[in-house]
Structure 1
Amino acid sequence: MVRINFLIAMALATGSLAASNCQAQDNACRTAPNANMAQCSADKAACCSTAFDDCRTAPDANMSYCASEHASCTGSQPTPVETCQTKYDSCRVAPHANMSYCVSEHAGCCSDAFDDCRVAPDANMSYCASENSACKNQK
């Protein structure tokens, strides 16, 4: 029982450390001379996405906790990137899954999310581009 509690505590700490590490990297990027803010945003999105993937693929992962940590890391609720990934994961583990269809659906989901982001009021094009890149690079 002690070992299980220790493992749970380590998993929780790892998620929090990953989120704070992403923020520290983002802060360093943004305060560097001649900082490229779009690149900083893309790097942070990728870092948060990696931490999210690590969390949710861990043994006995708590998906609510992972989503909460991801929201804390990105400063927002789960994005279409997670939605597209969830749909893709469901498709590919379905009985008799057609992988070509699953990949095609994932690509379409990412494109739709990108289009929705770009046409939203006060859209941040750098953010939209970084989310689109993160979406396309997941699988």
Structure 2
Amino acid sequence: MSFWTPKLFLDTSAFFAGLYSSIGGAHALLQLGEKGDLHLVVSSDVLRELEAVMRRKLPEKLDRMLVALDTTIAHIEPTPASSFIKPLLPLVDYHNDALVLAAALAAQVDFFVTLDRQHFPHNDPLRSALPFPIGTPGNCLAWHRQQI
């Protein structure tokens, strides 16, 4: 019998929230990743942005970020090729959003987790162009419960 382990892409906001708080959906996703119940994926671009945010807002928790990378993140996707990025540019307003979405496409994830309520939630053309759902950590946990 084989078991499917969902592959989730965490953007900077979701990963930061999971590190910042010891409760909530983002933290629960990190815990499930650590247990191996989920394959958590980030990109090298997410890590660069996360490190900058951590240094600015929570420098005392940088070590927690490193431990989380070691214990919970299954894969770090490199910066995607332009062939993944270009088709997304007309669908998003912010180039960095295209970068992380392209990395999620390249990694062939099952769900894109974000707390970015400005750029993603109401972008129907983007949502219909992607092969995976986009949602908050809470949305993702509900989706995961439906899958098992």
With normalisation by structure 1, the TM-score equals 0.29
> Which entry has the higher C-alpha Rg, 1 or 2?
1
**Greater strand share, structure number:** 2
**Greater helix share, structure number:** 1
With normalisation by structure 2, the TM-score equals 0.27
Which fold has the larger relative contact order, with Cα–Cα distance below 8 Å and residues 6 or more apart in sequence? Answer: 2
